[in-house]
């Protein structure tokens, strides 16, 4: 996802990118819960909603690109802890640029909270 003119990058309380990331996380959690429920009830794959197959047929979620991996390792090193491994997902990962932006936004908000 590219940054759009909707984002002024000023750390808004209701950032459109934060809303997008929150909605995607909620969708992915609901998707995983639906998949688990279908598997638990032993419903044949042929009776599953087509969207489940489309996600299964899609290319696996890309691994973190080298630049983002280096950024995460540096951030973890500066924080004094080991970089956590990325959480495996059955769906495509959030764009690395958006992920980096959201991490920076969270860091800035935490800094402002600690200064207040």
Q: Read off the pLDDT band of 37 (50, 70, 90).
A: very high
Q: Is residue 1 part of a domain?
A: no
Q: Is residue 59 part of a domain?
A: yes
Domain holding 82, by residue range, is: 16-115
Residue 74 has pLDDT above 80, yes or no: no
What are phi and psi for residue 42, nearest 5 degrees? 55, 40
Mean pLDDT throughout 60-74?
Answer: 65
Contact 48, 38 (CB under 8 A): yes
Q: Is residue 66 part of a domain?
A: yes
In the block, tokens 């996380």 appear at 25
- Total domains in the chain come to 1
Q: Is residue 82 part of a domain?
A: yes
Q: Is residue 9 part of a domain?
A: no
Q: Is residue 2 part of a domain?
A: no
Region of poorest pLDDT, from 55-59, 70-74, 79-83: 55-59
Question: What pLDDT digit, counting tens, does each position of 76-110 carry?
Answer: 777 776 656 655 555 555 666 777 777 777 788 88
Q: Is residue 8 part of a domain?
A: no
Alpha carbon distance 83, 72 (integer Å): 7
């Amino acid at each position: 996802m590219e940054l759009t003119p909707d984002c002024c990058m000023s750390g808004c309380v209701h950032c459109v990118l934060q809303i997008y990331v929150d909605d995607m996380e909620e969708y992915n959690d609901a998707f995983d819960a639906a998949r688990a429920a279908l598997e638990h009830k032993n419903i044949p794959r042929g009776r599953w909603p087509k969207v489940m197959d489309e996600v299964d047929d899609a290319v696996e979620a890309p691994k973190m690109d080298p630049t983002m991996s280096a950024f995460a390792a540096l951030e973890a090193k500066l924080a004094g802890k080991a970089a956590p491994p990325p959480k495996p997902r059955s769906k495509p990962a959030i764009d690395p640029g958006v992920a980096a932006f959201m991490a920076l936004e969270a860091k800035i908000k935490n800094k402002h909270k600690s200064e207040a």
